[in-house]
Amino acid sequence: MNENELKRALDMKDKLNKVGSGFCLAKWDQVTMHLHNGMTHSCHHPQPHKVDLEEVKRNYKAIHNDTEKLKQREAMLKGERPSPCDYCWRVEDNNKDAVSDRYLKSSNLFGHRFDEILKSGLGEDHTPEYVEVSFSNACNLKCTYCGPHFSSKWVAEQEANDPIMLTDAVTKEKSWNYHGIDYLKSINELPIPAKDYNPYVEAFWKWWPELKGNLKTLRVTGGEPLMSKDTFKLLKLIEQDPMPELELGMNTNLNAPEKNWQELIEFIKRNEDQNLVKKITLYTSLDGWGKQAEYIRSGLDFNLLWDRLMYMIENHPSVDNTIMTAYSLLSLPSYKRMLEEVLAVKRKYNRYNGLMESRFNQYKNWFHENSDPNFWTRNEKACVVHLDISPIYFPPFLSVTAAHKELAMPYLWDQYSFMMHNLTLGEDNRNFYDFEAEKMGRVADYSYYNGIGYDKWDSDQKIHTQNFKRFIDSIDKRRGTDFCKVFPELEEYYRGIK
């Protein structure tokens, strides 16, 4: 966080707290809509809640402005702090000088709308500027840390196999039917199949003519967005009625069928010619390297992902690329290799800054003709790929905290140290950014500090490690995989679990 960003956040802190100690603009102006099962939340910290379908039938804008969210906004306007937002309350209460996401998001994303949002009251018909939307859980992967909520492949596998029975950390009984389909049905959170009529998706398209006029950021998630017909309907509508101020983001596993992939490429080419949107960012997920990455994200063709990422970097520099990592226990052995490969890409393609860029532009044609052409491909854009690393919290048996510190910390420190020793400094701009390395440092912190001062940690960790082994055994049997063959570095840990 630079000084200007900090000042804006602190100024916003004062403005927000004059309204109420829980007031946050994101509750009005940001929304994630999981249309495939009717869930929503504003900001990524609160847990999603179910939108009542009867509300949606009365008012299609209820896919964002539903009764539950209106209650949370009302509490904020009364000076209260709604419990779903307790992540920020904990940050603020633990340190009165802390800059929570409540201040950062409100200042960075929505500060210009402060007065408008305040005047809207509860915002029963509020139209947000920042929208994340998932049309479907259709997906061709079965990531270990995912489940039926976001993957149709997971749904099919669960329906075709015996349940994965794990130990409940509270009751200490083997009663946790992990990702059980019947349980999802009982709480009304089982996704609506992509082929079926979906009233939540219908509500989105009813809202679209009004919504599009207000949007600044739109990010399409999944499932795999490139396997949803509504994703391509969206792109077609943007082609017909361009949105040149829109920042369009899309999550993709870069493994969609070739036909779907080519449709996206054609949209990108038309955007380069016609300025359909302001910017396109692709977010892909990678949590390790090679065969280990393929095990973590079951169904992944690792080489296809990497080839498509390189194609995008080399042929469409107008597109921003981000690799998202859901860092789990399974990431430990091969993540250093992934960092090395990402660093090599940054060093090859990232441009220089400042005076170095100016001089390099004068010399580059000569260098390209008279030196190694592979080195002188730089100067396409400031950064061809960003890295966004977050630790997995759920399921707890896949978290880095499920492994003892003697196993996890040497890996984590080595990877953090590698990034810190390869930071971008000054004008060279060819290494990791400090905020990328800081994300890796937070994973190490999570491993090291978790359980300290918690008197039940040893018994809980034993349950998590036992659940890890049961889970691995179940998916190996289902998928015909061999954990110890793919992760020889973790074989001793696995076989030592009793």
The CA distance from 131 to 215, in Å, is 7
What do you get for the CA distance between the two ends of the chain, in Å? 45
Q: Which two tokens stand for residue 294?
A: 């393929």
Residue with token string 């060093």: 347
Identify which of 218, 226, 392 has the alpha carbon closest to the alpha carbon of residue 308. 226
Query: Lowest mean pLDDT: which of 116-120, 238-242, 312-316, 427-431?
Result: 427-431
**Does residue 125 sit in helix, strand or coil?**
coil
Query: pLDDT band at residue 363, thresholds of 50, 70 and 90?
Result: confident
**217-221 and 130-134: which strand pairing?**
parallel
The mean predicted confidence, pLDDT, of the chain is 93
Instruction: Yes or no: say if 339 and 415 are a contact pair by the CB < 8 Å rule.
Output: yes
Q: Where are the domains of the chain?
A: 3-128
Question: Averaged over 369-386, what is the pLDDT?
Answer: 69
pLDDT at 19 over 60: yes
Would you state the pLDDT for residue 95?
85
Percent of the chain at pLDDT > 70 equals 95
pLDDT at 453 over 70: no
Percent of the chain at pLDDT > 90 equals 83
List CB contacts of 153: < 8 A, sequence separation 6 or more. Answer: 139, 140, 141, 142, 299
Instruction: Yes or no: say if 323 and 286 are a contact pair by the CB < 8 Å rule.
Output: yes
Q: What is the pLDDT of residues 204-229, one digit of tens each?
A: 999 999 999 999 999 999 999 999 99
Question: Averaged over 32-55, what is the pLDDT?
Answer: 95
Q: What is the pLDDT of residues 465-487, one digit of tens each?
A: 999 999 999 999 999 999 999 99
Main-chain dihedrals φ then ψ at residue 25, nearest 5 degrees: -65, -25
The CA distance from 327 to 341, in Å, is 17
With 0-12 / 13-18 / 19 or more C-beta atoms within 10 angstroms meaning exposed / middle / buried, residue 232 is: middle
Would you state the pLDDT for residue 465?
95
Structure letter (DSSP) for residue 490: G
